[in-house]
Structure 1
């Protein structure tokens, strides 16, 4: 297999040096095809559903104790929320074929079990080294597609196909099309990264490292599915080193910039809190807009993201706050987790705890992390 060079004209200007992490396992157990859904617990399902509809989800199923939210594309639900304490539970990845579940179960001493009839199919339940819940599923029920938002006809430069017609994007919820990715923080970043690459066949698109600490290895990775010559999202999973294991955010695709912007204005009109946006990221290139749901979970609308096949090697670049976007407002304190809040206080307290425990977050890494917010 021929591997293309790093995407050195896309801000990740450095390729790997000799001996650095290759960004993929030589012989993974299986290769998952995509992220299937995310699972959460929240105390008030009615409140969660109101925000979900304003954000652009449709309800796929609802009981007193469970809410299944979907995008417009055909497939499984994007998000499953069960009644309980406010927490992130697990990410479910879709296996390429049912036999992969048997192969994975055999390699991990796990079992293949049936999912509830409301979802259908089978699952292998695992834990990453940092404790994150990982489900690998197959043969789930497939929901039929819903109506999507039409993409606008644009007049760009000398190419002006729209005549005698005006642009009037509605100020209404942006229709979520599908789940794109989830970002997790880990105290055992490198160990967990290698576990995902080995067991799920994921491959790294971009590595980030703390300023002045490249020799100590990466501290963040944007990771995609390996579908061979079929392109996949720049990242389906992103992982970053930090003082506690936690959910950071999840991202959901919408049709285009107008859907994202008008949908954002609708969310503002409904009184919801924009964390950061609108802008265009560097790694992944997607146009983004971040929001806090009523339970404090960070969720992202995105559009126009990169897609790579398996020939592209990882890029390497320094982790900085200013390097998060090509254009847009500076990363907010809320997005960076440094605004006064219970969540930021928990993060601060966890730093002292992490330094006393056996993990990858040591004093040197703490110094590197502290520099990110102002760099």
Structure 2
């Protein structure tokens, strides 16, 4: 696709408008290791077989995390919910799309399988049966200097894995940044909430939200960052309050899992965050108190820097953005430098200066 407009921008007439992030899909060689981490992280097991593991939060979704048994570990893709059958029919006409098919996963419904320009699988989902919510503790009452609302009471958050409410967002790194940003804006109506740029003005990170009109949407459901190969960066899961974030850190430390970064508060999105690595080094974020925007809010533009990642908390460690170099990734890097208009040595040097 030849682009005539620098991305990311809103598309004036998208094919569809996604209404929710439905689930993530991973391949893992060891389902036992996967379920141990994910349960300690706070996700609840829905079903577990020899070849498939499904997990959920407490929100009204049958599942939000899919793990398939496979010989190699990898991030496969994700599902986006759309609002009607006509959306699926329109997406099924795109190059490389599957036919509209029944989903074999809990809740049923119909799905069209697509592949984005960076090679990630994207399932468009419609018509799932309603799911029941599960109970979770309410936010703890908080005494401030202006409002004392907890009198003759104490704070005692439960000492167990935090209850994940829902899957919040996914962050991907891309070689073909411009084309991939344009694809999600054109075909799923995603809106860039904030864009981070290099000193020369080149955009390198796009925080993209759902277009829900007057209904508030998360600051970002999908974030796309310029990289040298397409890869998973992290995914984020909402918990009820900051005490849940803190208790999550305590529990995961006691269980022996690897901490990645936190606790802190982001600038773009404002979430209180804490990041952990699963057994394969893939990052998972607990968060609370994220920004919500309606559709009319314009896109913000900001300089990209390590300091722009958080308002407070520990500085982002260099290991957080350190690439995983393998023989295959080095070959891919060299190929992408020759092929992708978005990837240049000067851009890689600029990003390395900031994050390496």
Whether TM-score is above 0.5 comes out as yes
Q: Aligned partners of 1:306, 1:201: CA distance in 2, in Å? A: 19
Distance in 2 (alpha carbons) for counterparts of 1:348 and 1:324: 27
Structure 1 residue 149: deviation in Å? Answer: 2.3
Q: Distance in 1 between matches of 2:90 and 2:260?
A: 41
| Aligned 1:336-355 pairs, distance under 5 A | 336-337=321-322, 343-344=324-325, 351-355=333-337
**How far apart, CA to CA, are the structure 2 residues paired with 1:136 and 1:190?**
22
TM-score by length of 2: 0.94
Deviations 1:94-120, CA, capped at 9 Å, x for gaps? 002222101221344631111115341
Higher RCO by CA contacts (8 Å cutoff, separation 6 or greater): 1
Measure how far apart 1:348 and its partner are.
6.4
Residue 268 (structure 1) aligns with: 253
From the superposition, tell whether residues 22 and 91 of structure 1 become closer, same or farther in structure 2 (CA, over 3 Å): closer
Match of 1:144 among 99, 115, 132: 132
Residue 334 of structure 1: aligned partner: 319
Q: 2:60 corresponds to which residue? A: 74
Q: Quick one: distance in 1 between partners of 2:310 and 2:325?
A: 22
Distance 1:275 1:348 in 2: 24
1:126 to 114, 119, 135: 114
Larger deviation: 356-365 or 176-185?
356-365
How many residue pairs match? The answer is 349
Q: How many angstroms apart in 1 are the aligned matches of 2:330 and 2:288?
A: 33
Counterpart in the other structure of 2:289: 304
Distance 1:337 1:136 in 2: 32
Question: How much is the aligned-residue C-alpha RMSD, in angstroms?
Answer: 1.7
Corresponding residue to 2:166 among 175, 178, 185: 178
**Which of 285, 307, 321 pairs up with 2:306?**
321
Check 1:97–1:156 CA distance in 2 against 1; reply closer, same or farther (3 A cut): same
- The counterpart of 1:103, out of the listed 90, 103, 119, is 90
- Unpaired segments ≥5 residues, structure 2: none
Counterpart position of 1:291: 276
Cα distance in 1 for partners of 2:306, 2:333 equals 19
TM-score by length of 1: 0.89
Match of residue 36 from structure 2: 50
Task: Name 1:357's counterpart in structure 2.
Answer: 339
- SS of alignment partner, residue 27 of structure 2: strand
